[in-house]
Amino acid sequence: MKEFRYASDLGNFEEALKEAFEIKKDRFKYQGLGKNKTLLMIFFNNSLRTRLSTQKAAMNLGMNVIVLDINQGAWKLETERGVVMDGDKSEHLLEAIPVMAQYCDLIGVRTFARFESREADYTEEILTQFIKYSGRPVFSMESATVHPLQAFADLITIEQYRKLKRPKVVMTWAPHPKALPQAVPNSFAQWMLAADVDFVVTHPEGYELDPQFVSGAQVEYDQMKALEGADFVYAKNWSCPGVTRPEDYGKVINKDMNWTVDAKHMAVTNNAFFMHCLPVRRNMIVTDDVIEAPTSLVIPEAANREISATVVLKRMLEDL
Ligand code: CP
């Protein structure tokens, strides 16, 4: 594996899940694979789960790890080509990337959508420069439009807890005070559409996700109707994707608290499991009682981040 951004980069899901459960049983099985290999993890944004789980995954494989927080201790980076660099940015990404690549074998990049331009975000302008100029295998640790390590962990979690061969999985938008990227819902939709599940998306009008990720999904604007008979409820906020109204891209256009997942929503499901990628704003996205219920999978979901990252790093090491 040379790149990890999309569901298709993983190949056959059945084989990947088999590998994931094998690693779950013995996460140090491939300890020798990463000997004298170095993972560089670059963060342009904050992280708790991705930082810890990916580092742990690399350690499971016997790798060395370097973590660089670009905003804390590195030179401020210019990302646009052609800019006269007379401001506060001391170094260009075009030099920084090949330099960073000298010190490592694999690169993970965390960079959020900036919401300055839909085009810049949806062309993944930072991640694609790492892919183009590093000469190293590169994986997204959540980039402007995708979060594949999270989606893979979610897939593993659904496989682990499903009671039916083909469960109904509902992804519901929920309110949030700040504008959040569409990376998690984009990837979750893409991965669920490729998985053996019945997938439904529900959100207020104006929050339609980009067709490249959601095309083929059943979209239901009535949240209660969508949740009927669900086996898994996946809650997430996202800002306006700007599909129907480009001028609203990246804005919060709805704060309707009726969309907060509470006991009344869960009551119409098939005793569904509750899922969220975390971090979560309690009593905005989900009520305390729902996230604390025995059917809440938020902690096993976070635990599976170590497993998804171990599989991805293992595959990248095998292809070096
Ligand atoms: N779910 C997730 O990616 O969490 P962090 O932002 O804390 O890494």
Query: Does the beta carbon of 280 sit less than 6 angstroms from any atom of ligand 1?
Result: no
CATH of domain 3-146+305-318: 3.40.50.1370
Query: Does the beta carbon of 278 sit less than 6 angstroms from any atom of ligand 1?
Result: yes
pTM for this entry: 0.97
Distance, in Å, from the CA atom of 66 to the CA atom of 49, rounded to the nearest integer, reads 16
Task: Please tell me if the domain spanning 3-146+305-318 has the same topology as the one spanning 150-301.
Answer: yes
* Residue identifier of the C-alpha nearest atom 4 of ligand 1: 49
* Residue identifier of the C-alpha nearest atom 6 of ligand 1: 47
Q: 45, 109, 142: which to mutate for ligand 1, most atoms within 8 A of CB?
A: 142
Residue closest to 302 by CA, chosen among 273, 285, 278, 281: 278
Fold of domain 150-301: Rossmann fold (3.40.50)
* Interval between CA 308 and ligand 1 midpoint (Å): 13
Residue 193 CB partners (closer than 8 Å, separation 6+): 7, 199, 214, 215, 216, 217
Residue closest to 263 by CA, chosen among 297, 225, 224: 224
E strand segments, 46-122:
64-69, 77-78, 91-92, 106-110
Cβ proximity of 225 and 219 under 8 Å: no
Distance, in Å, from the CA atom of 68 to the CA atom of 85, rounded to the nearest integer, reads 23
Kindly list the domain boundaries of the chain, sorted by start residue. Answer: 3-146+305-318, 150-301
Query: Does the beta carbon of 47 sit less than 6 angstroms from any atom of ligand 1?
Result: yes
Six-digit token pair at 320?
Answer: 């070096």
Q: CB count, 10 Å around CB of 279? A: 10
* Residue identifier of the C-alpha nearest atom 3 of ligand 1: 50
pLDDT for residue 136:
98
Distance, in Å, from the CA atom of 186 to the CA atom of 214, rounded to the nearest integer, reads 7
Residue 116 CB partners (closer than 8 Å, separation 6+): none
* Interval between CA 86 and ligand 1 midpoint (Å): 34
Distance, in Å, from the CA atom of 251 to the CA atom of 242, rounded to the nearest integer, reads 9
Query: Does the beta carbon of 142 sit less than 6 angstroms from any atom of ligand 1?
Result: yes
* Interval between CA 48 and ligand 1 midpoint (Å): 6
Tens-binned pLDDT, residue by residue, of the chain (320 aa)? 999 999 999 999 999 999 999 999 999 999 999 999 999 999 999 999 999 999 999 999 999 999 999 999 899 999 889 999 999 999 999 999 999 999 999 999 999 999 999 999 999 999 999 999 999 999 999 999 999 999 999 999 999 999 999 999 999 999 999 999 999 999 999 999 999 999 999 999 999 999 999 999 999 999 999 999 999 999 999 999 999 999 999 999 999 999 999 999 999 999 999 999 999 999 999 999 999 999 999 999 999 999 999 999 999 999 99
Helices (H), 61-182: 93-101, 118-122, 125-134, 148-161
Query: Does the beta carbon of 277 sit less than 6 angstroms from any atom of ligand 1?
Result: yes
